[in-house]
Amino acid sequence: MHVLIAPDCFTGTLTATQAAEAMAEGWRRSAPDDLLTLMPLSDGGPGFLDVLAGARPDGTTVLATTTDPLGREVPAALLLVEGEGDGRRTAYLESAQAAGLHLLAADERNPAVTSTYGVGLLLDAALREGAERIVVGLGGSGTNDGGAGMLAALGAGSAHDLARGGLALADLSDAALKGLEDVKDRFAAVELLVATDVDSPLLGLQGASAVFAPQKGASPALAQSLEAALGRFTEVVQRTHQSSRDLLTGRPRRLDKEPGAGAAGGLGYGLMLLGGRRVSGVEEVLRAVGFSSVVSAADLVVTGEGKFDWQSLRGKVVAGVAQAALEAATPTVVIAGQTMVGRREAMTLGLSGTYAVAETPEQVEAAITDPVGTLAARAARVAATWSPGR
- Contact call for residues 268 and 194 (beta carbons, < 8 A): yes
Model confidence, pTM: 0.89
Is the pLDDT assigned to residue 389 strictly greater than 70?
no
pLDDT confidence of residue 240: 83
Residues 275 and 295 in one domain: no
Residues 242 and 148 in one domain: yes
- Per cent of the chain over pLDDT 90 is 78
Residues 209 and 297 in one domain: no
pLDDT confidence of residue 87: 80
* Residue 198 belongs to domain with CATH number: 3.90.1510.10
Place 12 in a pLDDT band, splitting at 50, 70 and 90: confident
- Per cent of the chain over pLDDT 70 is 96
Chain segment 67-87, per-residue pLDDT in tens = 999 999 999 999 999 987 678
Residues 104 and 221 in one domain: yes
| CA angle, 227 then 153 then 179, to 5° | 85
**Residue 342: HSE in the Cβ half-sphere, 13 Å Cα cutoff:** 2
DSSP assignments along 71-138, one per residue: S-EEEEEEEEEEEHHHHEEEEEEETHHHHBGGGS-GGG--TTT---HHHHHHHHHHHHTT-SEEEEE-
Is the pLDDT assigned to residue 244 strictly greater than 90?
no
Mean pLDDT computed over 359-369: 87
Of 257, 282, 307, which closes a domain? 282
**What is the number of domains present in the chain?**
2
- Partners of 342 in the β-ladder: none
Query: In the predicted model, what is the mean pLDDT of the chain?
Result: 92
Element (DSSP H or E) covering residue 303: strand 300-303
DSSP assignments along 135-191, one per residue: EEE--SB---STTHHHHHHHTSS-HHHHSS-SGGGGG--TTTTTTHHHHHHHTTTSE
Q: Indicate the SS3 state at residue 222.
A: helix
Element (DSSP H or E) covering residue 300: strand 300-303
Chain segment 245-267, per-residue pLDDT in tens = 665 666 677 899 999 999 999 99
Element (DSSP H or E) covering residue 301: strand 300-303
pLDDT confidence of residue 219: 96
pLDDT confidence of residue 380: 96
* Residue 24 belongs to domain with CATH number: 3.40.50.10350
Chain segment 112-123, per-residue pLDDT in tens = 999 999 999 999
- Higher pLDDT pick, 33 / 359: 33
Cβ-based neighbour number of residue 314 at 10 Å: 10
> How far apart, in whole angstroms, are the C-alpha atoms of residue 126 and residue 114?
23
Of 259, 282, 305, which closes a domain? 282
Residues 269 and 295 in one domain: no
Cβ-based neighbour number of residue 84 at 10 Å: 21
Contacts of 106 (CB under 8 A, 6+ apart): none
pLDDT confidence of residue 246: 64
Residues 235 and 269 in one domain: yes
Residues 365 and 300 in one domain: yes
- Partners of 90 in the β-ladder: 81, 133
Residues 133 and 18 in one domain: no
Alpha carbon 119 to chain centroid, angstroms: 14
What angle do the packed helices 371-386 and 16-30 form, to 10 degrees? Answer: 50
Worst-scoring range by mean pLDDT, 2-6, 82-86, 127-131, 177-181?
82-86
Residues 144 and 199 in one domain: yes
pLDDT confidence of residue 261: 97
pLDDT confidence of residue 247: 58
196 Rama class: left (phi>0) / alpha (psi -120 to 50) / beta: beta
Of 238, 255, 282, which closes a domain? 282
Q: Which domain holds residue 278?
A: 48-282
Is the pLDDT assigned to residue 220 strictly greater than 60?
yes
Strands 73-83 and 88-94: antiparallel
Residues 304 and 381 in one domain: yes
Residues 327 and 213 in one domain: no
**Residue 389: HSE in the Cβ half-sphere, 13 Å Cα cutoff:** 13
Q: Indicate the SS3 state at residue 296.
A: coil
Residues 8 and 95 in one domain: no
DSSP annotation of 276: -
End-to-end CA distance of the chain: 10
Place 360 in a pLDDT band, splitting at 50, 70 and 90: confident
- Partners of 3 in the β-ladder: 36, 300
Chain segment 303-331, per-residue pLDDT in tens = 999 988 877 777 789 999 999 999 999 99
What angle do the packed helices 371-386 and 361-369 form, to 10 degrees? Answer: 110
Is the pLDDT assigned to residue 92 strictly greater than 60?
yes
